[in-house]
Amino acid sequence: MGTLIGHALSADGGFEVMGTYDIDNIDELDENASAADLVVDFSNKAALSHVVAYVQRTHATLVSGTTGYDAGEQEQIRALGAVAPVIWSGNYSLGIAALRHATLLVSDALGGWDVEIVETHHNQKADAPSGTAEMLRACVDPTGEVPVAYGRQGMVGARPQREIGMHALRGGTVAGLHEVHFFGQDEELCLTHRATSRQIFVNGAVAAAKRLLQREPGFYTFDELMFE
């Protein structure tokens, strides 16, 4: 994703890419990297301390799409809004944004139904479940109070009524498939988003970057930038 976004920014004509960083040279961000207007981070949570230090030093606008953060690490990203315009999203697809809105609507309408979330990605994806699947879970349970079953094994017994099933499939070169299943008595509803190319995430991230550069310091959601 980082490589694809770098190419897209260079090809856009409105950006000059000053440098790229990965595991081999990430330390250069701490002191040697020049101040940029924008930093885009689609890397690994291990780079978080370097990204935070860079934004604090330069006040660069931050577009973050790195997944796998825990609550404390997410808060570090949010806190950067005090010094720069910041966005974090587990998915920069407009279709996924629509899927989240649909999931909220259906979840409210079918409150007593069983919910299972299934996500499928390529065999090189490091985190599971995906950040997008966690976003969809939050649409079903905004309070975070419903127990989550991350897969099932053995004699688990009958499915509890208040439970969300989360399942991660990995294989091949799948760009991204997310399904939210609602099971009722004698019927099922399934909301599905299928990505056939990572380019959809690239396009969304570049569009978000352009809008974020026009904003004052603060933490913004993808919906706020694209739909409000």
pLDDT tens-place string over residues 163-201: 999 999 999 999 999 999 999 999 999 999 999 998 998
Second CATH level (architecture) for the domain 94-195: 2-Layer Sandwich (3.30)
pLDDT tens-place string over residues 83-116: 999 999 988 998 999 999 999 999 999 999 999 9
- β-strands 85-88, 61-64: how paired? parallel
Q: Specify the domain boundaries for CATH 3.40.50.720 within the chain.
A: 2-88+199-227
| pTM of this structure | 0.74
CATH of segment(s) 2-88+199-227: 3.40.50.720
Considering 45, 59, 125, 181, which one is annotated as catalytic? Answer: 125
pLDDT tens-place string over residues 1-30: 888 998 999 899 889 998 888 888 888 888
Annotation says 121 is catalytic: yes
pLDDT tens-place string over residues 58-79: 999 999 999 889 999 999 999 9
Q: Specify the domain boundaries for CATH 3.30.360.10 within the chain.
A: 94-195
Is-contact 177 197, C-beta < 8 A?
Answer: no
**Coil, strand or helix at 112:** coil
Considering 50, 121, 167, 193, which one is annotated as catalytic? Answer: 121
Annotation says 210 is catalytic: no
